[in-house]
Amino acid sequence: MLLFKPGGHLKFNTMKTFSLYLIVALIISSCNKDISNSIELNCSYLTYSTDSFERVHKHLIANSTLLPSFFYPDRYLYSDPVFNPCNPYEIAYLRFDTWTTTLECDNELWKFSFCSGKAEKLTEQVCYSPDWSTKGWIIFTGSDRQLWKIEANGDSLVQLTHEAGYNNHAKWSPDGKLYAYTNQNGMIAKEDGEVIQVIDLNPLAWLDNTTILGSNLQGTVSYDLFTKETKVLHQANPTGTFPFDNDNLELYCFYDAGTREDKDDYWIRYNLKDNSTDSLKVLFDSYWFGKGDYSPEGKKAVVQLFRENWKDSTSNEIYQKKDLIIMNIDGTEERLIQLPE
């Protein structure tokens, strides 16, 4: 039996065989990860989550032309969850402290284990969109709008871009050797930050190590780095970071009807194989999903949950909660993740 020990050592029983060594070699070659974060026997999405939480099912119809002002009943706001690609029971996410921080783009980067229930702060001054590579690096847009990467244990913070403007929504290739991001155009860069291609799309995900999934005015498209061929897969053109099921070529997003009309919002699926769109779950202005990620190993999605209610509809003042939920990718069996504070 193979055991992963917290101290980072591999321990075998007396029945070790060549096949076990082969398995270990495959694990190490596919994901360069810290052994202390390896999957343990007691990992469960149910232990540190709950399906009992408040849902306010209604539309927020603004009675004012003013932009909304938000008030936060909770100290912490959580956002931008992403899975560890080498461990489906570990996520990285952003935490915003409403008691001590007034700047909108000044989050902390944390990671959380569904195995141990422990959360660890990795760094601060993060704006949005972390993404975790198979080599153990987490890339993100900093408060300075530059791209940075940090090792998953909190070591080796490295600045990757030095460009003006916004460097957005970086996504690692499956092998961790490249990443794609947006700065006016789509950019493809090596893991050390060297830009090797500029492309006409906003990257969303990778189909494989040489093919990008992105969006532009044509819709959702694929782009081959070698042939430079672009193929339209869907008429929708989402931007940002959303759960993507690469096995079935399905992209999941939130459709926002806005707060000016009495219209439903939806959790929707874009099927890139047949260009179809399915509305899977009715949501509301008071209860909706944001950025998220999908784990093909765990068969689960993590997404940001917004819960809103009026403080004063006349002046367009809103109470807002931001939490993380784990669920099936189609929006069923959603559970609130209980993050330690």
Comparing 7-16, 86-95, 244-253, 306-315, which segment has the lowest mean pLDDT?
7-16
Supply angle C-alpha 60, 61, 66, rounded to 5.
105
Q: Residue 67 in 3-state DSSP?
A: coil
Q: Is the distance from CB of 121 to CB of 110 less than 8 angstroms? A: yes
Tokens of 164: 């003006």
Rg of the chain over Cα atoms, rounded to whole angstroms, equals: 21
Question: How many Cβ atoms from other residues are within 10 Å of residue 125's Cβ?
Answer: 15
Give the list of residues 6+ apart from residue 90 with CB closer than 8 angstroms, or none. Answer: 37, 83, 84, 111, 112, 113, 114, 115
pLDDT digits (tens, 9 = 90+) for 172-199: 999 999 999 999 899 999 999 999 999 9
pLDDT on residue 29: 46
Cα separation, 163 vs 182, whole angstroms: 11
Tokens of 205: 């995900």
Single-letter residue type at 76: Y
Q: What is the mean pLDDT of the chain?
A: 88
pLDDT on residue 26: 43
| pLDDT band at residue 262 using 50, 70 and 90 as cut-offs | confident
Better-scored residue on pLDDT, 278 or 15: 278
Single-letter residue type at 281: K
Residue matched to tokens 């070659």: 29
Percentage of residues in the chain with pLDDT exceeding 70?
87
Cα separation, 164 vs 195, whole angstroms: 15
| pLDDT band at residue 41 using 50, 70 and 90 as cut-offs | low
pLDDT on residue 257: 75
Cα separation, 163 vs 189, whole angstroms: 13
Which spans in the chain are helix H? 18-30
Residue matched to tokens 């990795």: 122
Question: How many Cβ atoms from other residues are within 10 Å of residue 19's Cβ?
Answer: 8
pLDDT digits (tens, 9 = 90+) for 266-298: 999 999 999 999 999 999 888 999 999 999 999
pLDDT digits (tens, 9 = 90+) for 109-144: 999 999 999 999 999 999 999 999 999 999 999 999
| pLDDT band at residue 16 using 50, 70 and 90 as cut-offs | very low
Is 338 a residue whose pLDDT tops 60?
yes
pLDDT on residue 187: 96
Comparing 27-31, 50-54, 278-282, which segment has the lowest mean pLDDT?
27-31
